Amino acid sequence: MGQLKQLEQQILDEWRRFAESKHDAEEFSEDGLLWRGLIYYADGSWHRREGNEEELWLNAKRRLLILTKDLNDTEAWNIRQETGRQNTAVFSYQYGAPFIKNLRMWTYGLLHTTSEEVPDFKTVRNMELSGPFFETAPIAHVNCKKQCGGSSITNRLLSLYLNDYADFLKKQIALYDANIILCCGCVNGKNLILDFVRSQYLTDLQVVPDTGDWIYYSPATEKWVINSYHPSARIGYEECYVGMMNAFHLALSRKTL
């Protein structure tokens, strides 16, 4: 295990112990740098082993950190094993929840868009392209609330967890040093995850003009932050993808990543 992953596990262990002290550790789901080892099917679900994810991350020009609210499940599992595959032995990239389909498309777009070119929606909508890419790209996925949740969470409850576990979340975000941070949680123009990143991590963050509040930039660190809907939000696939990528393309045309 490399140093990055050792530090990641140390943060998660400390987070869990603190949650236990608050009697708040039930169904604690670990997360972070997505594993890139063997994908296999066992016990009715897909799993993944550790692989070269740390080397891939450290050598990547673009490193994507996905921040979401919590795990929509009744049982905790290690998010680092995430593949997006439905729990059926017969697998097809064409099947899957909107959550994973959006993440596949957004990931492909954010890691391929340049100041000259944007992958079009028809290209990324091909799950035979964006699906395998999602399984191999340099991605870290972090939930702000490690305990399991439902299909939605109120801003009030999310705020409580952001405040209670702020030190751990800040450490985990900073550990990866990602140059693109996707904040999935904008509801009615408000995104508590983006607000957390701006107040606790990138204090010089500013919206890029003419991007429709999609894209934020930190001049001091040259990092990009995306103000995104949740991947499960009932927004059209094309509308969300095109809006995000056109805004990112415009931002990149003014600054080079």
Q: How far is CA 94 from CA 100, 232, 234, 242, in A?
A: 11, 17, 19, 20
CA-based nearest residue to 120, from 257, 17, 245: 245
Predicted local confidence at residue 224, as pLDDT: 98
Instruction: Specify burial of residue 207 (Cβ count, 10 A radius: 0-12, 13-18, 19+).
Output: middle
| Residue reference for tokens 């236990």 | 20
**Buried/exposed code over 95-107 (b: 16+ C-beta within 10 A; e: otherwise):** ebeebbbbbbbbb
Predicted local confidence at residue 80, as pLDDT: 97
Average pLDDT over residues 135-156: 90
What tens digit of pLDDT does each residue of 221-237 get?
A: 999 999 999 898 888 89
Average pLDDT over residues 59-67: 97
Predicted local confidence at residue 257, as pLDDT: 57
State how far Cα 249 lies from the chain centre. 20
Q: Which of 93-102, 127-136, 240-249 has the lowest mean pLDDT?
A: 93-102
In the chain, what are the domain boundaries? 3-255
CA 178 – CA 174 distance, rounded (Å): 8
Q: What is the mean pLDDT of the chain?
A: 93
Predicted local confidence at residue 48, as pLDDT: 96
Predicted local confidence at residue 74, as pLDDT: 76
SS3 244: helix
